[in-house]
A and B are shown apart, each in its own frame.
Chain A
Amino acid sequence: MKIAVTDQPLNPWKELANHEALLKDQAGKWGGLATFIGTMRDYNEGETIDALWLEHYPGMTENYLQRLAHTAHQRWEIVDTLILHRVGQIYPADTIVIIGVWSAHRAPAFEACRYLIEELKHRAPFWKQETCSQGCRWVTTNTPPYSAP
């Protein structure tokens, strides 16, 4: 299980491959990897967005993500999880978040992945400030928590 918040650019394909390489002792134990990769759009609410500033609460954010991962492991049969999230200045097409869930079967992999991204967006202490032609504005739209199918 790996959780990290970073101000460095994220390459999702390298991060997923690097993490999977660390799981070599468990090779053959998983039958699938479900991923969610969040990427910055260049528009929001009718405006062109030039950049995004991502702020977090150091310590609390990492603790919260760790707890989400533990809950996912208790709730579904999964082999491992990876959660990486950017902070600082980012630009359109940059990766914001990477979630990977390795599991023996696709159903727990997909569901745990959806749980992690929905709960992260709903409650993990990150805040976005957009830069557009009219200046800077904080994003205020929070999204609902995970709900089981």
Chain B
Amino acid sequence: MTITVKFFASLREQIGTNQLKLTLHTPLTMEQVWTSACPNTPLPEYLLMALNKEYVQADAIVKEGDEVAFFPPVTGG
């Protein structure tokens, strides 16, 4: 199954891409998706994450076709 993983702002620059596709063989948690997408980068403490454009925690389960996003603390307004 394929999922989309997006990165924003300073995290996009750190990872070096704004988006990638991942093929999963079983459902994974958000934290496991991070490890699969960025195997050489430990999960940053400050990291925020979203699943299908809703905030979730690291133990949320990701399934076929989902859109995952990782990003740093927000600074709008």
Contact = CB atoms under 8 A, between A and B. Distances in A.
Contacts of B75: 121, 126-128, 138-142
A142 B10 contact: no
Interface residues of B, number: 17
B50 A127 contact: no
Contacts, number: 72
Interface residues of A, number: 28
Contact of A60 (B69, B72, B73, B76): B69
Given A60-B53, A142-B74, A142-B75, A127 B9 contact: yes
| Best-surrounded residue of B50, B53, B54, B72 (most CB of chain A within 10 A) | B53
A121 B77 CA distance: 5
A26 interface: no
A120 B77 CA distance: 7
Given A57-B8, A121-B74, A128-B76, 16 more contacts: A54-B76, A55-B8, A56-B76, A57-B53, A60-B50, A85-B77, A96-B77, A97-B77, A117-B77, A120-B77, A121-B76, A125-B8, A125-B50, A125-B76, A140-B75, A141-B75
